[in-house]
């Protein structure tokens, strides 16, 4: 393993590098709740009735009866023809995320990956895997850091693997990351598209994590898990019932929530006997994803960093719709609004089944503070020439760090191999002279 003292100053240098300043892609608000400050008006909506998904759902409901909320959410968000992400993919338009607010988020996540890579003894290759990359801003900012630290990575084979279900957003990502120079692959290949980043790194696109090749990897999921379908359950006098979506008998072209008349397979499988809440949301797709990541990280090493809004098994009804930066009725015009539910980190921890270690959730402002956000901001402020740029930088810092904005609402959660946190054998830990370096972000980034 390379002594830390030789590597860490490079990370410190990365925080101090001037680098290219990315222009803000949008100026928006935390978690899409507020319209962009000072704008007075949210971006205009394209006239869109959501007729496609609604028509399809009404036919389905008439034919087969009520749907689970998970089936409803899946159709509304990822129906290949008419789903929200397939058609509209509203990052910036309906909601704003941290990588869009500031380049600093991606830069610090890039440093986080490098810090973990160095702690693992600088493996000869690593994959950067991003799930649900939106516009591609996070990966773009990470790749800029990798490029600035090219000397550190000169002997490492780095590749990028993006899991994206939306054809529209994969085009946006291709434009951002490669300047649009991509090639579609034939159906029998795991990746549906490939290209080379502006900095010369190969990039591949996939429809699911199962298609991404295995090996030492960093898996990133920024505001991805909150878009995965949830089941909703209600405690009643007769026991747990599942919340379902059905046609409103009073208005046959509208939808309403109903309760299942009896228990369903989901109530049997997903409600824990010790549950104390009266209303519970469970996201089995997130559970399956965590199991897959846990198996991969246990076998090949690497880490996963999950950033999202969420809770530790305490909240109840968090299912929400957003359109044009405003709350939107989740059952109205499906396909035209983003649907989301808070991530239950306690469920993710449970689904890791002890195969790997978990860290967090830790508040975004604490994670970024530990990663050196203040030093990075100082450098960007010093290097900015005009007051408008400085104002914009201060505004984005406030958005990321203010407890009332993204600072306290968003959390970071990591999956790591057990050996990253504890030496596998007592004897080895006695022999080992150097203690394991702390995991940056969850403790302070060691720069010396």
Binding site for ligand SAH (CB under 6 A): 77-78, 85, 89, 91, 97, 99-100, 132-134, 163-166, 169, 222-224, 227
Q: Which residue, 134 or 417, has its beta carbon nearer to ligand SAH?
A: 134
By beta carbon distance, the residue nearest ligand SAH is 132
Minimum CB–partner distance for residue 396 and ligand SAH (Å): 14
The answer to whether the CB of 117 falls within 8 A of the CB of 134 is no
Whole-number Cα distances in Å, 386 to 21, 380, 382, 390 = 13, 12, 10, 7
Q: Which residue, 227 or 271, has its beta carbon nearer to ligand SAH?
A: 227
The answer to whether the CB of 83 falls within 8 A of the CB of 278 is no
Minimum CB–partner distance for residue 132 and ligand SAH (Å): 2
Per DSSP, the three-state class of 263 is coil
Q: Which residue, 118 or 176, has its beta carbon nearer to ligand SAH?
A: 176
Q: Which residue, 50 or 133, has its beta carbon nearer to ligand SAH?
A: 133
Q: Which residue, 19 or 99, has its beta carbon nearer to ligand SAH?
A: 99
The answer to whether the CB of 117 falls within 8 A of the CB of 111 is no
Rounded CA-CA distance 126/113 in Å is: 10
Rounded CA-CA distance 400/368 in Å is: 9
Minimum CB–partner distance for residue 90 and ligand SAH (Å): 8
The answer to whether the CB of 133 falls within 8 A of the CB of 139 is yes
Q: Which residue, 126 or 224, has its beta carbon nearer to ligand SAH?
A: 224
Bridge partners of 333, per DSSP, are none
Q: Which residue, 288 or 295, has its beta carbon nearer to ligand SAH?
A: 288
Minimum CB–partner distance for residue 86 and ligand SAH (Å): 8
Element (H, E) at 357: strand 357-363
- Tokens read off for 200: 């010369």
Minimum CB–partner distance for residue 187 and ligand SAH (Å): 18
Minimum CB–partner distance for residue 374 and ligand SAH (Å): 23
Rounded CA-CA distance 360/35 in Å is: 30
Minimum CB–partner distance for residue 379 and ligand SAH (Å): 24
Tokens 């990280």: give the residue: 297
Q: Which residue, 89 or 360, has its beta carbon nearer to ligand SAH?
A: 89
The answer to whether the CB of 420 falls within 8 A of the CB of 119 is yes
Buried b vs exposed e over 316-331: b needs ≥16 C-beta within 10 Å? eebbbbbbbbeebebb
Q: Which residue, 163 or 330, has its beta carbon nearer to ligand SAH?
A: 163
Q: Which residue, 240 or 410, has its beta carbon nearer to ligand SAH?
A: 410
Q: What share of the chain is helix, strand, coil (3-state, %, to 5)?
A: 40, 25, 40
Minimum CB–partner distance for residue 101 and ligand SAH (Å): 9
Q: C-alpha 213: how far from its chain's center?
A: 20
Minimum CB–partner distance for residue 166 and ligand SAH (Å): 4
Please, what sign has the CA dihedral across residues 421, 427, 428, 431?
A: positive
Q: What is the DSSP string of 62-106?
A: HHH--EEHHHHHHHHHH-TTT-HHHHT--BTTTB--HHHH-HHHH
Minimum CB–partner distance for residue 25 and ligand SAH (Å): 10
Q: Where are the alpha helices (DSSP H) in 241-283?
A: 265-270
């Amino acid at each position: 393993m390379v002594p830390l003292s030789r590597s860490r100053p490079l990370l410190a240098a990365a925080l101090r590098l001037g680098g290219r300043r990315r222009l803000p892609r949008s100026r928006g608000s935390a978690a899409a709740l507020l319209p962009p400050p000072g704008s007075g008006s949210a971006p205009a909506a394209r006239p869109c009735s959501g007729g496609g998904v609604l028509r399809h759902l009404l036919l389905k409901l008439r034919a087969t009866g009520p749907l689970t909320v998970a089936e409803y959410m899946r159709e509304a968000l990822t129906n290949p023809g008419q789903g929200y992400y397939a058609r509209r993919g509203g990052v910036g338009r309906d909601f704003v995320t941290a990588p869009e607010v500031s380049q600093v988020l991606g830069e610090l996540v890039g440093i986080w990956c490098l810090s973990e890579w160095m702690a693992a003894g600088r493996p000869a290759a690593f994959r950067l895997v991003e799930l649900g990359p939106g516009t591609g801003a996070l990966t773009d900012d990470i790749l800029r850091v990798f490029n600035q630290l090219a000397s550190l990575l000169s002997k490492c084979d780095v590749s990028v693997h993006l899991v994206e279900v939306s054809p529209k957003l994969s085009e946006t990502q291709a434009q951002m990351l490669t300047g649009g120079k991509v090639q579609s692959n034939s159906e029998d290949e795991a990746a549906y598209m490939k290209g080379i980043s502006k900095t010369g790194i190969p990039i591949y696109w996939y429809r699911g994590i199962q298609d991404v090749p295995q090996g030492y990897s960093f898996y990133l999921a920024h505001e991805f898990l909150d878009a995965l379908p949830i089941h909703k359950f209600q405690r009643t006098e007769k026991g747990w019932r599942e919340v379902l979506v059905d046609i409103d008998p009073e208005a046959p072209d509208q939808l309403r929530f109903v309760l299942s008349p009896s228990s369903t397979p989901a109530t049997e499988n997903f409600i824990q006997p010790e549950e104390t809440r009266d209303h519970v949301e469970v996201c089995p797709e997130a559970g399956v994803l965590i199991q897959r990541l846990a198996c991969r990280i246990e076998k090949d090493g690497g880490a996963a960093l999950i950033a999202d809004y969420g809770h530790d098994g305490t909240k109840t009804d968090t299912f929400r719709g957003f359109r044009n930066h405003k709350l939107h009725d989740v059952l109205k015009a499906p396909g035209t609004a983003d649907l989301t539910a808070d991530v239950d980190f306690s469920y993710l921890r449970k689904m890791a089944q002890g195969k790997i270690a978990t860290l967090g959730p830790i508040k975004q402002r604490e994670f970024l503070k530990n990663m050196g956000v203040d030093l990075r901001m100082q450098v960007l402020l010093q290097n900015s020439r005009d007051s408008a740029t400085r104002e914009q930088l201060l505004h984005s810092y406030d958005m990321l760090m203010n407890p009332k904005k993204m600072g306290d609402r968003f959390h970071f959660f990591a999956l790591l191999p057990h050996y990253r946190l504890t030496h596998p054998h007592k004897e080895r830990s006695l022999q080992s002279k150097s203690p394991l370096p702390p995991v940056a972000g969850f403790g302070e980034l060691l720069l010396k």
